[in-house]
């Protein structure tokens, strides 16, 4: 939670940027009366304090509930070096930091795959972080969540290396509720380049997956360009899936500052 609060403070310094004028009950601000404004919206009490007419604006709630999910599958535990954070550590940090920003703005947060309840306020962040920490190894795509509110906003964080048809089915099921959202793909830098420039990824290399088999590559250098092309095609497929659903698609590497990805997510969630 301390790390999440620190990253969140770096992005917005406590300022909630999702508020704007619109229909609602909560007071937002007074602004000067402009030609074309209906006279019924004039706040006469505020206007009486000066020689100008003022309009009383209420706050528009961009999204009452933001649903978050981070990949807790085994592939997310991988890191290319002992001093580098794992993909899951980075995904969970970004989820908690984004939740801190959303809750600080007075909105509710729901954890897909969690208890099914919505969290609010500072106590809500504590409960949400405890739930994320307690989730063990699970599927690499968000599970079905029948309690997800309609028109909620969704943010999914993971490596999204599953087959594209499986990812498409999961996103289509969420978009049909209907909800709109964003996909953030988190990868280790060695996964993007197949260890280009790293002597550990040269010559004869055995790649192993826990309990899922292995593959021996006689010379990694000879397949690196093919690997890069396959990854590019996979990412294009992810972007296409997101675009079809009306969602956004972002990427992040674990050697990059977490605040960069958090800012991109926060801006993506901002009302248009």
Please choose, from the candidates 168, 177, 133, the residue with its C-alpha nearest in 3D space to the C-alpha of residue 241. 168
- Nearest Cα neighbor of 111 from 66, 76, 163, 174 is 66
Average pLDDT over every residue of 211-226: 88
- Cβ–Cβ contacts within 10 Å for residue 130, how many? 11
**Residue 132: phi, psi to the nearest 5?**
-60, -40
Confidence at residue 135, expressed as pLDDT on a 0 to 100 scale = 63
DSSP label of 144 = P
pTM over 0.85: no
Nearest CA to 56 out of 28, 98, 19 is that of: 28
169 — pLDDT class (breaks 50, 70, 90): very high
Is residue 66 classed as helix, strand or coil in its secondary structure?
strand
Q: How confident is the model at residue 15 (pLDDT cuts 50, 70, 90)?
A: very low
pLDDT-based confidence at residue 136 (cuts at 50, 70, 90) = low
pLDDT tens figures, 222-250:
999 999 999 999 999 999 999 999 999 99
């Amino acid at each position: 939670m301390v790390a999440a609060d620190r990253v969140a403070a770096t992005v917005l310094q406590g300022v909630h940027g999702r508020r704007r004028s619109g229909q609602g009950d909560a007071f937002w601000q007074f602004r000067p009366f402009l030609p074309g404004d209906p006279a019924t919206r004039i706040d006469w009490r505020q206007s009486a304090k000066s020689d100008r007419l003022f309009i009383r604006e209420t706050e528009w709630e961009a999204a009452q509930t933001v649903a978050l999910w981070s990949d807790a599958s085994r592939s997310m535990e991988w890191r290319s070096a002992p001093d580098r954070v794992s993909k899951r550590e980075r995904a969970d940090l970004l989820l908690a930091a984004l939740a801190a920003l959303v809750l600080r703005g007075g909105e509710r947060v729901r954890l897909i795959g969690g208890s099914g309840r919505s969290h609010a306020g500072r106590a809500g962040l504590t409960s949400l972080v405890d739930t994320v920490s307690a989730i063990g190894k699970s599927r690499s795509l968000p599970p079905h969540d029948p309690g997800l509110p309609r028109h909620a906003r969704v943010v999914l964080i993971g490596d999204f290396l599953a087959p594209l048809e499986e990812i498409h089915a999961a996103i289509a099921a969420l978009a049909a509720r209907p909800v709109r959202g964003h996909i953030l793909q988190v990868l280790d830098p060695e996964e993007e380049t197949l260890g280009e420039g790293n002597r550990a990824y040269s010559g004869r290399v055995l790649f192993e997956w826990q309990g899922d088999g292995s593959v021996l590559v006689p010379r990694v250098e000879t397949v690196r360009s093919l690997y890069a092309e396959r990854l590019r095609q996979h990412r294009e497929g992810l972007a296409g899936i997101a675009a079809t659903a009306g969602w956004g698609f972002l990427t992040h590497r674990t050697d990059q500052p977490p605040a960069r990805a958090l800012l991109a997510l926060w801006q993506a969630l901002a009302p248009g």
